[in-house]
Amino acid sequence: MARQQFSAEQHSVRVLKVGERVRHILSELLARQEVHDETLSAHTVSVTEVRMTPDLRNASVYVKPLLGEDEAAVLKALRTNTAFFQREVAKRLGLKFAPKLQFRADESFEEADRIERLLNDPKVARDLDEEEE
């Protein structure tokens, strides 16, 4: 059977779609508490983003525990149970190769807060007011 050829645009759309499917699968596993881990059962964990490599063999999974509580413990528990998550993702995804999952803390909320604080700084507000005039 001939291998399908994808254009660069189709390939990137496929990578995004697979990443989103992996995010949904992981979110479902965590919401239903299908992984038997006390730390993960005690916390509500949100999977904010999954970034796939173009070959779909590796996935960076960005997670955030609710209210940012015990982030280090939650990440450790997720990394301990990586084999379970990879097995479940492979079973539900149906790809030729199962992506290798790497769990990481999502720092985007802290970065957004930092930028918000900078924009609300009186010195910056003063400069912005001068530009409008």
Ordered alpha helix ranges (H), 52-133: 71-80, 82-93, 108-120, 122-132
Summarize pLDDT for 11-66 with one digit per residue, the tens. 688 889 999 999 999 999 988 988 888 888 888 888 999 999 988 899 999 998 88
Q: Which CATH entry fits the domain spanning 8-106: 3.30.300.20, 3.20.20.140, 3.40.50.300, 3.40.50.2000?
A: 3.30.300.20
Structure confidence by residue, pLDDT tens digits, 83-94? 999 999 999 988
The pLDDT-based confidence of 128 (bands split at 50, 70, 90) is low
Question: In 32-107, which residue ranges form alpha helices assigned H by DSSP?
Answer: 38-42, 71-80, 82-93
In the predicted structure, residue 82 carries a pLDDT above the cut 70: yes
